[in-house]
Amino acid sequence: MPLNIAEIRAETPGVKHVNHLLACGSALQPQPVIDAIVAHLELEGRMGGYEAANAQADALDAVYRDVATLVGAKPSEIALLENATAAWCQIFYAMPFQRGDRVLTCEAEYSSNYLALMQRVKRDGIVIDVVPSDASGSLDLAALESMITPRTALIAVTWVPTNGGLVNPAAEIGKIANRHNIPYLLDACQAVGQMPVDVAAIGCDFLSATGRKFLRGPRGTGFLYIRRSLIATIEPPMVDLFAAQRVSDTEYTLRPDARRFENWENAYALRLGLGVATRYALDIGLPEIQSRAWGLADELRAGLRGLKGAKVRDIGENPSAIVSFTIDGLDPVKTAAKLYAQGIAIGTSSPASTPIDAERRALPTVLRAAPHYYNTSEEIAQLLNALEAAIP
């Protein structure tokens, strides 16, 4: 079914105020998401925080079901956390590495993940192996397989990086990981909400994501998926009285579900907002969302190719809704600020956000735009016109 863009925009209050083309940063929330958050805050104000959570217990429980549906998992395989980094780190720091164990990662790996890898090199003596990219710029699958050693203890890759349109072959990586029986941690932060995600089809053991980007949820939300059969085998890096129960002076038992990676206190209003954002995306349809957002991104790339001095910096064969580019003579940070003053929100991505890829391609800070399905061709044209006018 074609998307009803008029209806979708009527339910997106932000579109009246800004031409927002930065879903890869933090997308515009739909009104029902905002309403759910505000309603719960008001309920807390009227009833008290604990009492409001009790009153909304069913709705809060349903958030796990909705997030699980979004990624093709079971509710017991989902932990709700405050962002994608917290989700990724909860599982990464739980990995019981031995000195000399190796972790395979990709050139497009997100900087925070890479910093965590570096910390465990320093602290635990692990070794990082960066899989090179193929001619198209995506992770080289043959190289990945050839780099696996008996000491490879984890494959940790980013599906869709923060700095451009690349889409790494997540499911093909999963096949290799499963064939060699190596745990597979997928950073799906930029994928969730812009395209269908199915953990079974991907074959990942762990998946981390955020709420505020393409999923259109509130800031301060994220989640972690953990394959059911592995939950009981992994001790979280921190435990509290929610994750564990004291049995004796020396013994405790951990929760049997993925929530052993959570802790007790949480932003329930935001969780409800995340649940509404998830259902909203599911109701619209992820294939439809992907097709529209990627189509608008292609329009933008085509327009950029016609601008003097513009270079589209995206790599990979079938790029996502994240468009990265530079324009000769234009400072990216100043350009983004100038555009915002004209009511157009795009962003920048510095080499520090994706260090291996940026170094390999000698990337400067790039301009970054990410249309979502609620954007229009007119908004893309407005951005292109504003850029053209800014070119010296």
Stretch that binds ligand PLP, among 183-191, 199-207, 265-273, 286-294 (CB under 6 A): 183-191
Q: How far is the CB of 55 from ligand PLP (least distance, A)?
A: 29
Q: Is 19 in the site for ligand PLP (CB under 6 A)?
A: no
Residues 6+ apart with CB under 8 A from 73: 67, 199, 225
Stretch that binds ligand PLP, among 67-75, 141-149, 182-190, 276-284 (CB under 6 A): 182-190
Q: How far is the CB of 211 from ligand PLP (least distance, A)?
A: 8
Residues 6+ apart with CB under 8 A from 130: 105, 106, 107, 109, 356
DSSP 89-103: HHHHTTS-PPTT-EE
Query: Rounded distance, CA 276 to CA 36, Å?
Result: 7
Q: Is 85 in the site for ligand PLP (CB under 6 A)?
A: yes
Q: Is 373 helix (H, G, I), strand (E, B) or coil?
A: coil
Query: Rounded distance, CA 63 to CA 268, Å?
Result: 10
Stretch that binds ligand PLP, among 79-87, 197-205, 246-254, 257-265 (CB under 6 A): 79-87
Q: Is 187 in the site for ligand PLP (CB under 6 A)?
A: yes
Q: Is 323 in the site for ligand PLP (CB under 6 A)?
A: no
Give 255 or 368: the residue with its C-beta nearer to ligand PLP.
368
Number of chain positions touching ligand PLP (CB under 6 A): 13
- Site residues for ligand PLP, 149-178, by CB under 6 A, read 158, 161-162
Q: Is 290 helix (H, G, I), strand (E, B) or coil?
A: helix
Residues 6+ apart with CB under 8 A from 13: 28, 31, 34
Provide the token pair at 107.
């050139």
Q: Is 110 in the site for ligand PLP (CB under 6 A)?
A: yes
Question: Pick from 189, 199, 231, 296: which binds ligand PLP (CB under 6 A)?
Answer: 189
Q: Is 365 in the site for ligand PLP (CB under 6 A)?
A: no
Strands (E), the chain: 19-20, 78-81, 102-106, 127-131, 152-158, 184-187, 206-210, 222-226, 244-246, 252-254, 310-312, 323-327, 344-345, 347-349, 366-369
- Site residues for ligand PLP, 219-278, by CB under 6 A, read 222
Interacting residues with ligand PLP (CB under 6 A)? 83-85, 110, 112, 158, 161-162, 187, 189-190, 210, 222
